[in-house]
Structure 1
Amino acid sequence: MTTKPTEHQLDPINISPDQFLDCAKAIIHTILFHRAIDTQVIPKSIIMSGVDIAYASAETPESSENIHKRLLPMQDAIFGGAQNTWIILSLSYNTPVKGWFKDVQSSQVWERWSIPFQFQTLSAKDVRFAMLHTITQITQKANSCNVAMRPSEGSTFQYSLNLPTDKGPETAELVNLMKKIVKTPAFLFQ
């Protein structure tokens, strides 16, 4: 039985293009802190152009590296002149399913976070305010609904990032949805 995932839409986050990578990582790790299961919680502090933001993080070296690698091409595209963009963070459980000939993994997305960004030159005070607003919003949304129960013993927590720079049919539906919500420059989809 598949259930529709809980959808969370954050307010657009106004930041400077050069701060996208640090801000996006902080936002993703903040969401994972509220949702990740069986991970180590590490207090983090980021400093961006005089902006000091502290946030709670549930990260491992592997997750940090994965997130950084996924966001890097998007950072390059943003420096090409984008005025806005978005990220979708999907949270799921991978559950082992016994089959006749081989065992497979079934993935069930239970929560999806839409994270829109708008770019403009801002003061450090404005960026700090935008990030604090977003982190507070994440905390409120996360606390307003429960973490999905593990479907079975052996299920593992999984997250995935969908970006406008992604290619392939599996992201087409999400890309079309976000095009309606956030006006994303066409060059990010090429």
Structure 2
Amino acid sequence: MPRSFRDFLPIVLVTLAAAATLAAGFLPLFSTEQVLGRGDDSRGVLRYTQSGWSTVFGLPGEDGGSQPSEPLGVALLIAAVVLLVALVFVIRQVVTGRASAAARGVTLGGAAFLAGVVLATAMAGIPAPVDTGRVRFETSLEAGMWLLFLAVVAAAAAAVLGYLTPAGAGPAWSDPGTAYADTPTPPSGIAITVLPPGDPAAR
């Protein structure tokens, strides 16, 4: 039975979600600028850049430092592993041509887990705006967070596609109407003699 692009689309989406999640763990997630003072009293801007494993800080034009941050990268790695497990099930589903309840369940679970991790990461990394008149914090999203948003969309789309095909749906030969259409030979491989139309009495 010929395969269409839709058959391989779940593989593409789950692969994209897993790769984006894995890459995001090693890219900057947020950058926060701490503005010290106002106007003429400004004493500079201290910039923090947070990734899944550390926070780099420093003043513009000066050597900065780094320190361990909340282990956001651990949760992202776990989410990537779950998506890779889902990818194995999805590939098996495409190869066998049978929709699998396990494949769609693991894909849905991976998408939900990833969404929860991304939400927790956003809540941990984006502080409430602070402006006391002397100190002001401004936070912006970096490449890692945008990749995580892309991963969530891709994983959710793969989960939806998994539920568009009923579990247990088999290949075309499992449908008798399709199996016997336009051929005198059934799936068993035993040929059937087809007599020409005419008067049975004449034969």
Larger RCO, structures 1/2 (Cα 8 Å, 6+ apart): 1
TM beyond 0.5: no
**Structure with a larger share of its residues in helix:** 2
TM-score, normalized by length of structure 2?
Answer: 0.26
**Structure with a larger share of its residues in strand:** 1
Say which one has the larger Rg: 2
TM-score, normalized by length of structure 1?
Answer: 0.27
